[in-house]
Structure 1
Amino acid sequence: MCYYVSNQLTRKEMKDTFGVTYEGPDFQGSEFTNGFSYPKTPIVLDDNPDEAILGDWGLIPVWAKDRNMQKSTLNARIETLVEKPSFRDSVSNRCLVLVKGFYEWKWLDSKGKKKEKYFIHLDNGEEPFALGGIYNIWTDEETEETLTSFSIVTSNANELMAEIHNTKDRMPLVLSKEAEEAWLSDRSIDNFAFPNYSPDLIAINLDVAGSQPTLF
């Protein structure tokens, strides 16, 4: 799955890497962002691909009465998007989630008491990149506050992520530059599910001094 990312992007990085402007409030992000805090993260929506905004991580469907379900919607499995009530109305609401990488832990024993922490990013020269997401615009009936919330879409793991994420065999939908436009253009979700689509990734073991990047 994908619950921890690096989302510390500047306005200049958003412009230079994704060709988008960001006119929102000052944003600093974090090198280690915990999804369970439902943080604001830069996203690009399909209906306005020239601008980045801040979205709340954890999709809130239009029928939700409050934000309590966000802990269950940080990720959305690509195989069941059209089936799950939380996600099926947002399948065509595509977004790019702008990050510098994400974190995952490899279990070294059957109970997960010993783990190795990895930082994983697209093999693109250490530039920021996008994760595929879906979003919804939700209004709180009590406060009348309007939120744009999102989920990161996940797929079965490729060879590298199956080795690292060895208890769940999942990975986020990491988009190459070529795949970004295709994702926003409402291309069939089946085109992005592994093994139909598999990004080139680099993983760095953060718990082993001098660890060399692993590439697939």
Structure 2
Amino acid sequence: MINLIFDYLKISTMCFHSKQTKLALEVENRFNAKIEKAEFFQPQENINGFNFAKNPIITDNKPNIIQHYNWGLIPSWSKDEEIKKLTLNARIETIEEKPSFKNLINKRCLVIANGYYEWQWLDSKGKNKIKYEIGIGNDDLFAFAGLYSQWVNNSTGEIKDTYTIVTTQANALMSEIHNIKKRMPIILKPEDEKKWLNHNPINDFAFPYDVNLIATKIHPDTLTLW
């Protein structure tokens, strides 16, 4: 499993760090939805996917409710949770082929955020990197395109609701920043959020589908190493 994870990190789609710093009322107003369990809602400057924490999402079957699912999708057929290390992202180009995702094409969600982080490599091995925060401007809220699943632990009966963020080919800006793998998460246009939830053809959201992104270089003094 360790080697599998290492290989995944070398070829992966690499949207692993995001943020959601807005207060509850602003999030509810932006998405015209109510937070289901306020005790789970916590604004965060740094959301590390590898912590597999609960984050706010909106699913297609409850479009007026903001729920909290764990990042790192666990398919219903999985024997254990280990697969979540490999399913933080889903490549839209192969989403209909991969066993983890192909049966979830119509289990869609909006992953709520107001920014994500990416590193520009200055050498071929990534020893020297520049960190950027990417968003749509003005620190505004947006939604990543996501898929979700429910998994039951056969040993304990515990139910886990989980999600993945869908990614696509990088646009011109992200090709310069994510300059090795050249990928980016799919950020939905506000007018297309309902289309995603309503199961419009998934390829409608693949590159060259795009929104205007703004990248801000993070000063080294503020760099957090995860």
Structure 1 letter corresponding to 2:64: D
1:52-201 equivalence runs, <5 A: 52-123=66-137, 125-195=138-208, 197-201=209-213
Distance 1:52 1:108 in 2: 39
**Which letter maps to 1:187?**
N
| 3-state SS of 1:143 partner | coil
For residues 175 and 161 of structure 1, the distance between their equivalents in structure 2, rounded to whole angstroms, comes to: 16
Q: Deviations over 1:140-170 (max 9, x none)?
A: 1112111110000000000011010001100
Segments of 5+ residues of structure 2 without an aligned counterpart are 1-13, 222-226
Q: How many residues are paired up?
A: 207
Pairwise CA distance, 1:172? 0.2
Q: Classify the secondary structure of the residue corresponding to 2:84.
A: helix
Partners of 2:158 and 2:23 lie apart in 1 by: 26
Are positions 1:35 and 2:53 aligned together? no
Identity of aligned residues (%): 45
Shift in Å, 1:25:
4.0
Q: d(CA) in 1 for partners of 2:185 and 2:60? A: 19
Specify the code of the residue in structure 2 equivalent to 1:199: V
Between Structure 1 and Structure 2, the one with more helix by share is 2
**Distance change >3 Å, CA 199–CA 153, structure 1 → 2:** same
Indicate the RMSD between aligned Cα atoms, in angstroms.
1.3
TM-score, scaled to structure 2: 0.88
Matched, 1:204 2:204: no
- Output the amino acid matched with 1:115: K
Deviations 1:13-65 (A, max 9, x none): 22111111002142214201110111110000001100000011011101011
Output the CA distance in 2 between the equivalents of 1:13 and 1:145.
Answer: 32
| Contact 1:106-1:115 at 8 Å conserved across structures | yes
Q: Which runs of 5+ in 1 are unaligned?
A: 210-216
Would you say the 8 A contact 1:122–1:176 is kept in 2?
no
